[in-house]
Structure 1
Amino acid sequence: MKKLKNTFKVLLKSVLGIIAFLLVYALVIVIMSVITVNDNVVENNKNIPIYILSNGVHTDIVVPLKNEIKDWSQDISYLNTKAKDSTRQNLAFGWGDRGFYLDTPTWADLKVSTALNAITGLSSSAMHITFYGHLKEDEFCKQILISKTQYESLIAYFESSFQLNELGKIQQIGTHSYGKHDIFYEAKGSYNLFYTCNTWANQALKSAKQKSALWTVFDKGIFWHYE
């Protein structure tokens, strides 16, 4: 009886500890998500359009496929997509957990092992690239104009997120895709409870000296600063 009582106490303390952690975690997310950084950055000649794009959970950063500063088509070709559509001139970058991306096309396909590997940082990551045509601004899509210098910083951030092969080239992940206009590439880093796809996107905006959250794990923490 005493052993059962001690086991119950340990279990209760564990449950209370988890609840306390989740409450603190949620509070920190809220506080740090609403703190704006780069709010007063002054930059001239802001004429390069980029977009923040959300599906309601995950945030992509969308940039021109090519301009005088960077031609992404040299490394990321529309010919590698199923549609092979050359008319789409915007490119979305989205970093995330490899298991979620490749093995979980819908929430119904989510496995406990995939979720645990993701939140604990035990799995690898992938870069999801999607070709877009014209984008229309709404609550899930916001346009931002940035300068050449800011865009160069954003390019460097994107490039540093790819896992390169021995020849220094980005590596496509088989023929995986969600549709006809997207591709997956190997990426650096690990998704975890404190660094999610939205944290990566928020850091991308920070790198380009754009308004962003001090820290966030949710897309709302990014879009709140652009309402």
Structure 2
Amino acid sequence: MSGLFSRRKIRDPRYGDYDYVAVGWGERQFFVETPTWWDVRPGTLIAAAVGSEDTVLHVEHVARPVVGERVRSVTLTSAQYRRLAAFVQASVAAGEPVAGYTDYDAFYPAHGRYDALHTCNEWTGRALRYAGVRVGRWTPFPATVSWWL
């Protein structure tokens, strides 16, 4: 995965040496203009809920897998990892990435329509289902993804 997300696309290429990337998908305006929930503006939230074909992957280069109270660990077989990587790769659209919030992240153009039914969490659920991980049939919220893990 790290080969797909080049170190040249982040502000500080040293972070590109990290062994892991964290990937999320969502509506471009919401993702790019909302680094934290405190930055959410009503107009951005409404526009995302109504829907947009303008989506991005948010890619962060990380030193180790993120672990914490609100993060679940998922162990994949080699075959599952390859399917997950293929799903993420198929989500990347043509175009140049833009710098992210920090020195170690970037936004890549993506395929797909974002709206109230097709959320970032639903994308995560689809990715995990494609990889062969047991999750619900529809996962629009964080809890609906993690219930199964």
Return the TM-score normalized by structure 2.
Answer: 0.86
**Displacement of 1:107 after TM fit?**
3.6
Say whether residues 1:198 and 2:121 are aligned partners: yes
Measured in 1, the distance between the counterparts of 2:79 and 2:130 equals 11
Number of residues paired by the alignment? 148
1:103 aligns with 2:26: no
Separation in 2, partners of 1:77, 1:162: 13
What's 1:79 paired with? 8
1:152 aligns with 2:82: yes
Name the residue aligned to 1:49: none
Which one of 184, 208, 212 corresponds to residue 135 of structure 2?
Answer: 212
**Secondary structure of 1:186 counterpart:** strand
Cα pair 1:130 1:181 within 8 Å, conserved? yes
Equivalent of residue 187 in structure 1, options 88, 91, 110: 110
The residue type equivalent to 1:90 in the other structure is Y
Whole-Å separation in 1 of the counterparts to 2:39 and 2:73: 33
Secondary structure of 2:147 counterpart: helix
Matched to 2:122, the amino acid is T
**Larger Cα Rg: Structure 1 or Structure 2?**
1
Contact 2:7 2:17 (8 Å CA) reproduced = no
Shifted more, 123-132 versus 99-108: the winner is 99-108
CA distance in 1 between counterparts of 2:51 and 2:108 reads: 18
Unaligned runs of 5+ in 2: none
Contact 2:27 2:52 in 1 (8 A): no
Deviation at 1:136, TM superposition (A): 5.2
Pick from 123, 133, 141 the counterpart of residue 71 of structure 2.
141
1:97-132 CA-to-partner distances (Å, cap 9, x unmatched) read 101111223344433332222111135111101111
Q: What is the aligned-residue identity percentage?
A: 27
Output the aligned Cα RMSD.
1.9
Do 1:172 and 1:183's aligned partners in 2 also have CA atoms closer than 8 Å?
A: no
